[in-house]
């Protein structure tokens, strides 16, 4: 961010299936780290390894494909949308020529709802 270095000396390892939350004071660099991991902001130095391999040309899509998701503090829902649309917003399942796989999304949403007791 210009002459300001928001992060320095970060080393983070996450095992497969592990869920990690970041906490810290305002200005500690949490949001910057999340933006870098999610492919929104490019790091000025260092590297990101996924399964031990350096990732170059990191993008938001590649981040999602690697299983890195961001849950923002504001958990507002798109109330005009269905549960399925809210679950898959930004992660729509698509097939040939970008067609939505609606039946697959419904099945997966149903499975997830059963898993959490709904």
Q: What residue spans define the domains of the chain?
A: 1-74, 83-115
- Mean pLDDT over each residue of the chain, to the nearest integer: 81
Residue 59 and residue 39 in contact, taking contact as beta carbons nearer than 8 Å: yes
Cα–Cα distance, 87 to 55 (Å, whole number)? 27
Residue 111 banded pLDDT, cuts 50, 70, 90: very high
**Which one, of 47, 51, 25, 50, lies nearest residue 36 by Cα?**
47
pTM of the model: 0.57
> Helices then strands (H, E): number in the chain?
4, 2
Contacts of 23 (CB under 8 A, 6+ apart): 30
Once rounded to an integer, what is the mean pLDDT over residues 80-103? Answer: 81
């Amino acid at each position: 961010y210009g002459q300001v270095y928001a992060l320095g000396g970060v080393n983070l390892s996450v095992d497969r299936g592990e869920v990690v939350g970041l906490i810290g004071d305002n200005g500690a660099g949490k949001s910057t780290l999340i933006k870098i991991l999610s492919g929104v902001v490019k790091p000025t130095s260092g590297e990101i390894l996924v399964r031990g391999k350096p990732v170059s040309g990191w993008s938001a899509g590649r981040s999602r494909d690697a299983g890195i998701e961001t849950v923002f503090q504001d958990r507002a829902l798109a109330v005009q949308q269905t549960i399925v649309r809210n679950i898959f917003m930004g992660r729509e399942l698509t097939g040939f020529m970008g067609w939505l796989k609606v039946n697959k999304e419904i099945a997966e949403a149903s499975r997830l709802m059963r898993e959490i007791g709904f």
